[in-house]
Chain A
Amino acid sequence: MTLLQPTPGSRPQHILEVQDLTKMFGGVKAQDHINFSIEKGIVCGLIGPNGAGKTTLFNMITGIYRPDTGKVVFNGKDIRKTPVHRLVKAGVARTFQHVELFSSMTLLENIMVGMHVRTKAGFWAAVTRIPAMKREERQSRQKAEELLEFTGLAEDAHKMAGDLPAGRQKTAQIARALASNPLLLLLDEPAAGLNPVETHALGQLIRKIKQSGITMMLVEHDMSLVMEMSDKVVVLDQGKKLAQGTPRQIQSNEAVMSAYLGNG
């Protein structure tokens, strides 16, 4: 499947290694010596009660925050100091908990802008419309159409992104992230606000993305979705790693139970 072919050149067995990561906000330890790694091609669930530090961890992996200490190694390289746009080019893509599509652009344009790091045409190419630019433009459009087909949004291609129903906007966000040909895709609560039918369709989509070889990290409160999709689950609580293991191991872990249900 060429549509979602991840960028070649990946060597190590672990796509992501988080080593001894710490981040303070004021006096609060948002991340406290976090360690884990993600093997290539798996889906890794990241769960924990509200305020456990899941989104903070996402923000450090995607280059929005810098850790105070520790390392994030992506595809064999330390990415602590890599600016976001380079990181996306290296193959890290994400979606947001709250949908942030570009609302004054059509859905198709949203997907095309998602290819920014994989395309080249700059100012002069655009103004002179050299053949290479036209070709790239044609290819981008075609690939965007294929991606919309892949995610089941083809019929909405020419609608304004802001006019789509919430569920479709969430899917569109995933399609836009896929447009950058990621090696690692981070999904921040993709099922929040979806009805059961939409959640089921989301599960199907995650499975299809996994089949194409893209590694995923999934922050989600819908436990049945996380347990069904994940090969591995990492549990955070109050900035600390509480547990990690297969969904089955996590479900029978007592520390996890008490974190969720309280130490009554």
Chain B
Amino acid sequence: MMTDKNKTIWIEYLVFLCVVSAFGLITENTYYLQIMTFIGINTLLALGLNMLMGYTGQVSLGHAAFYGIGAYTTAILSGTYAINPWLALVCAVAAAVLIAFIVGLPTLRLSGYYLAMGTLGFGMIVNIVIREWGDVTGGASGFVGIPVLEAGSLVFMSGASYYFLVWGIVFAAIIICRRLLASRTGRALRAIHDGENAAVAIGINTHALKLEIFMFSAALGAVAGFLYAHFVLFISPESFGFMFSIKIVTMVVIGGMASVWGALLGAAVLTLLPEVLHGFAEYEMIVFGTVLMVVMIFMPQGLTRGIMDIIRTARRARA
């Protein structure tokens, strides 16, 4: 039982690595590589939110705030103060985790709609601060002058090198999430999801644990923000607003809650769909909305579960 499970996990990792490397090595079109890089960055966001929302059952409508905190911290430190970007990454993650702690301490006592409202307000506050603190953040017109990432003689410019950097981090994040979920902590998180009262009754300090996973998801969000900032080299507040928070929630729901690969799939669909739908010009948003509705009507469990169910029924039909 145990070894079988381990084997499937390794096969999944192997397939993931093969697909990612093959795509990175074969593709020369920079546009495709760029899209794939964005999918990787969004996967980090969806993974983090999925830990909080999919596995622990705590809805956050302000996840883009941590993305913004990560992006702006590294932009300001490495752009304005010329601090080494890798050191800025550490600071960005620390800032996001600290803010998550301060915000989460009172808000995670809330649940359901109230938590959603609390995090929504937090997301808006962060966005307003970025917008209004013009001297430091560049305000509404954005922040220019983010340095390119370097490691020794390696320069991570857009293209294959950045693609591999992002997907390498995504791979690490997937392993971390997987390990966390397969542990005592992961079981406790799922227990909170299934029934918070019962989780309290068996001795789980649910508030502390929710806070911990909120901080973890913030850290992943900040890493995504860091990668985004040093990739596009110009950031503005719109990228980290309420609409983007909703988009991350959609990635998690469409991909399938409580599924690590679902986060990846959801991020891929939500990143690719607008690109594919460019052809519809002004009708783009209508088609986009329709696709999401159709998925939710026919696959309420998300794409991952939906596709697996289809495969299973097809197999059974053949047998």
* A residues whose Cβ falls under 8 Å from a Cβ of B: 62, 64, 83-85, 87-89, 93-94, 96, 100-105, 109, 112-114, 116-117, 119-123, 125-127, 129, 133, 136-137, 140, 158, 176-177, 180
State the Cβ distance, A139 to closest chain B Cβ, in Å: 11
A262 CA / B227 CA spacing, docked (Å): 74
Q: Restricting to B185-213, which residues have a CB under 8 Å from any CB of A?
A: 185-188, 190-191, 193-195, 197-205, 212
Kindly state the interface size class of chain B when it binds its partner. Answer: 20 to 34
**Cross-chain contact B203 with A85 (CB below 8 angstroms):** yes
Taken together as a complex, chains A and B put the C-alpha atoms of A64 and B201 apart, in Å, by: 8
With an 8 A cutoff between CB atoms, is B258 at the interface? yes
Does B311 belong to the interface (CB within 8 Å)? no
Q: Which of B193, B197, B204 is in CB contact (< 8 Å) with A85?
A: B204
B180 at the A interface (CB under 8 A):
yes
Taking chain B's interface residues, is the majority helix, strand, or loop, or is none over half, making it mixed? helix
Known contacts being A100-B197, A123-B185, is A113 close to B179, with CB within 8 Å?
no
A84 pairs with B184, CB closer than 8 A: no
Question: Residue B154 at the A interface, CB < 8 A?
Answer: no
State A109–B1 Cα separation when bound (angstroms). 14
Kindly list chain B residues whose C-beta atoms are within 8 Å of the C-beta of A133.
183
B176 in the interface (beta carbon within 8 A) = yes
* Interface presence of B214 (CB below 8 A): no
In the assembly, what is the distance between CA of A56 and CA of B319, in Å? 55
Please, which residue of chain B has its CB at the minimum distance from the CB of A88?
B203
Distance of A177 Cα from B202 Cα, bound (Å)? 7
List 23 A-B residue pairs with CB atoms under 8 Å apart, sorted by A's residue number. Answer: A64-B201, A84-B200, A85-B204, A88-B201, A88-B202, A96-B201, A100-B195, A102-B190, A103-B194, A104-B258, A105-B191, A112-B187, A113-B188, A113-B202, A113-B204, A114-B202, A116-B203, A120-B184, A121-B183, A125-B183, A126-B180, A127-B179, A136-B184
Q: In the complex, what residue of chain B is closest to A102 when comparing beta carbons?
A: B194
Which residues of chain B from 151 to 197 have a CB within 8 Å of any chain A CB? 176, 179-180, 182-188, 190-191, 193-195, 197
Q: Counting chain A CB atoms within 10 Å of each CB, which of B1, B179, B193, B258 scores highest? A: B179
B240 beta carbon closer than 8 Å to chain A: no
Q: Is B216 an interface residue (CB 8 A)?
A: yes
Query: In the complex, which residues of chain A have a beta carbon less than 8 angstroms from the beta carbon of B185?
Result: 121-123, 126
Docked Cα-Cα span, A104 to B203, in Å, equals 19
Known contacts being A88-B203, A96-B201, A127-B176, is A105 close to B187, with CB within 8 Å? yes
Cβ 8 A contact of A140, one of B184, B191, B216 = B184
Which one of B187, B193, B201 has the highest number of Cβ atoms from chain A below 10 Å of its Cβ?
Answer: B201
Task: Give Cα A242 to B99, complex, Å.
Answer: 54
C-alpha spacing A126/B186, complex, angstroms: 9
Residues of A within 8 A of B179 (CB): 126-127, 129
Contact of A180 with B202 at beta-carbon distance under 8 Å, contacts A123-B185, A123-B216, A126-B183 already known: yes
The answer to whether A89 and B184 have CB atoms under 8 Å apart is no
Smallest distance from the beta carbon of A152 to chain B beta carbons, Å?
20
Contact A117 B203 (CB under 8 A): yes
Task: Select from chain A the residue with minimum beta-carbon distance to B215.
Answer: A123
Which of A105, A123, A136, A176 is within 8 Å of B202, CB to CB? A176
Residues of B within 8 A of A104 (CB): 190, 193-194, 258
Given that A123-B185, A129-B179 are known contacts, is A105 also in contact with B200, CB under 8 Å in the complex? no
User: How many Å lie between the Cα of A116 and that of B202 in the bound state?
Assistant: 8
| A102 CA to B258 CA, complexed, in Å | 14
Q: Is the CB of B190 within 8 A of A85?
A: no
Query: In the bound complex, what is the Cα–Cα distance between A116 and B193 (angstroms)?
Result: 16
- Check A85–B200 contact: CB distance below 8 A: yes
Distance in Å from the Cβ of B50 to the closest Cβ of chain A?
A: 14
Complex-state Cα separation, A109 to B188, whole angstroms = 10
Asked whether B203 lies within 8 Å of A89 as measured between CB atoms, the reply is: yes
CB distance from B142 to the nearest CB of A (A): 35
Report B-chain residues with C-beta under 8 Å of the C-beta of A93.
Answer: 202
- Bound Cα distance A88, B204 (Å): 9
